[in-house]
Amino acid sequence: MSAKERLDSSGASANYSKSKVAVVYTRPETVFEDIDRAMQLADYQSHLQSDVSTLLKINISWQYYYPACSTSPWQLEGVVKTLQKDGYNDLIAAHNGTVVVDSFEGEVRNKQKPVQDKYNLPNIHLDVPPNKWIPYHPKGEMLVLDEIFPEGLTIPEIFPGKNIVQLPTVKTHVFTTMTGAMKNAFGGLLNRKRHWTHSVIHETLVDLLTIQKEIHPGLFAVMDGTFAGDGPGPRAMRWHEKNVFLASADQVAIDAVAAKLMGFDPMSIKFIRLAHEKGLGCGDPSQIDVVGEDITGVNWHFEGTKNTFASRGQKLIYWGPLKPLENILLRSPIAPWSFVASNLYHNAYWLRFIGNRRVKAAMRTGWGQLFQQY
């Protein structure tokens, strides 16, 4: 069914087969079985072709380990074990760095590399050689990307024709309220200038989902909520043990269910609503088939509007009185000042004086003990 066919005359999603999102509670002792159960409940094999390569899009939101911040080693290992058991043998671990995050350091500190090595996974870092980026002309209508990048879009050469499994965590975000499967594509499909899109981040995520549906024969997501992040994410968060995994082929629906668990109205989050209205997935919880656990009435009361000192400054540039200076401050040769400022705040100040204490406390939990075993 095309996106157009899913829209009624008012622009809202028309009735069609319900999207399915699996929700499974877990504990360290049974985490691999629970991930497998979530994936099977979400009928993942009907959405991923087993005769093509499958990319595992790993999330590294920080090169330092912080609970709920990046793909966990048990999340990655559980997905790999299930895929290999079911005959998906051509798996590729895919990372991306950013202007403020070193993905090579991150895969080590977040203990993803031991899993990759254990299962002999080819491991690529998309934004550095020898990986190539090629021009791409989307077939679907773009909301903003064609304006942000008038010279044209490029995507990783390795992406087209391959399945992709997004591996996000359940957490909040200072720009998008929450971040999940849809935003996990942000690093993979946009290169080092992706920060140019922050002022139109919601529309950007919708454009990226449009592109994903065009280039990948199969699309799936497994979201880790063993630790979940609350507050000014994706880094300076308060972690909570929520002991849950989500899985779905519908990137909009899985984000909507995660948002609802966190206590947000999914359709009030712009990127979820826009994607729903474009027919890219289902963002209305009443139209989603949640299988596995009964999450009726669950509300974690997370806060998605909190800011850090750094994010307050960014918002002044993206949406505040400094907006006229955005091109000079963030898209000119002086832009590296902002990268330095972000690293000073998050790495030199926040992690040192606040974050490390929280990490030490997390290491005393069952999930922290499991992390230390990798």
Asked whether the predicted pLDDT for residue 15 surpasses 50, the reply is no
3-state SS assignment for residue 286: helix
pLDDT in tens, 286-326: 999 999 999 999 999 999 777 876 777 677 777 788 888 77
- Quick one: average pLDDT of 212-236? 96
Contacts with 119 (C-beta within 8 Å, 6 or more apart), sequence order: 77, 80, 84, 91
pLDDT at 13 over 50: no
Domains of the chain, residue spans? 19-306
Task: Please state the φ and ψ torsions of residue 172, each to the nearest 5 degrees.
Answer: -90, 170
**Are β-strands 177-179 and 238-241 bridged in parallel, bridged antiparallel, or unpaired?**
unpaired
- Residue ranges of alpha helices (H) inside 173-236 are 181-189, 201-215
Q: Are strands 123-125 and 133-136 parallel, antiparallel or unpaired?
A: unpaired
When pLDDT is cut at 50, 70 and 90, the band that residue 356 belongs to is very high
Mean pLDDT of 27-40: 98
Q: Kindly report, residue by residue over 112-147, the tens digit of the pLDDT.
A: 999 999 999 999 999 888 999 999 999 999 999 999
Question: Cα–Cα distance between 254 and 81 in angstroms, integer?
Answer: 22
Reply yes or no on whether the pLDDT at 54 is more than 60: yes
Handedness of CA 321, 304, 12, 213 (dihedral sign): positive
Mean pLDDT to the nearest integer, 339-346: 85
Average pLDDT, the chain: 91
The secondary structure element, H or E, covering residue 272 is: helix 270-277
| Sign of torsion over alpha carbons 220, 225, 227, 230 | positive
pLDDT of residue 14: 40
How many degrees, rounded to 5, is the angle at CA 41 between CA 39 and CA 43? Answer: 70
**Of 65, 6, 82, 36, whose CA–CA distance to 276 is shortest?**
6
The string of pLDDT tens digits covering residues 75-123 is 999 999 999 999 999 999 999 987 778 999 999 999 999 999 999 999 9
Q: How far apart are CA 86 and CA 89, in angstroms?
A: 9
Selecting from 3.30.1050, 3.40.50, 1.20.1070, 3.10.450, what CATH number does the domain 19-306 have? 3.40.50
The C-alpha angle 101, 104, 105, rounded to 5 degrees, equals 70
Between 219 and 196, the more confident residue is: 219
**Residue-wise pLDDT tens digits, 235-280:** 999 999 999 999 999 999 999 999 999 999 999 999 999 999 999 9
Q: What is the pLDDT of residue 319?
A: 77
Share of the chain above pLDDT 90, in %: 77
Query: ∠ CA 342-304-345 to the nearest 5 degrees?
Result: 15
As a residue count, the chain comes to 374
Q: Residue 334: its pLDDT value, please?
A: 76
What band does 192 get if pLDDT is binned at 50, 70 and 90? low
Would you state the pLDDT for residue 307?
A: 82
Per-residue model confidence (pLDDT) at position 2: 33
Residue 352: pLDDT band (50, 70, 90) is: very high
Query: What percent of the chain stands above pLDDT 70?
Result: 95
